[in-house]
Amino acid sequence: DIIFGVQLGGGTDIAGALTYCESCITRPTDAVVILISDLYEGGLHEKLMERARSIIGSGAQLIALLALSDSGAPAYDHENAAALAGLGAPAFACTPDAFPELIAQAISRGDINAWAAARGLVTATGAQ
Three-state secondary-structure class, residue 56? helix
94-110 b/e with 16+ CB inside 10 Å = b?
A: beeebbeebeebbeeee
* Cβ atoms 4, 96 nearer than 8 A: yes
**pLDDT tens digits for 48-70?**
999 999 999 999 999 998 876 66
Q: How many percent of the chain have pLDDT more than 70?
A: 84
**pLDDT tens digits for 103-128?**
899 889 999 888 888 888 777 876 43
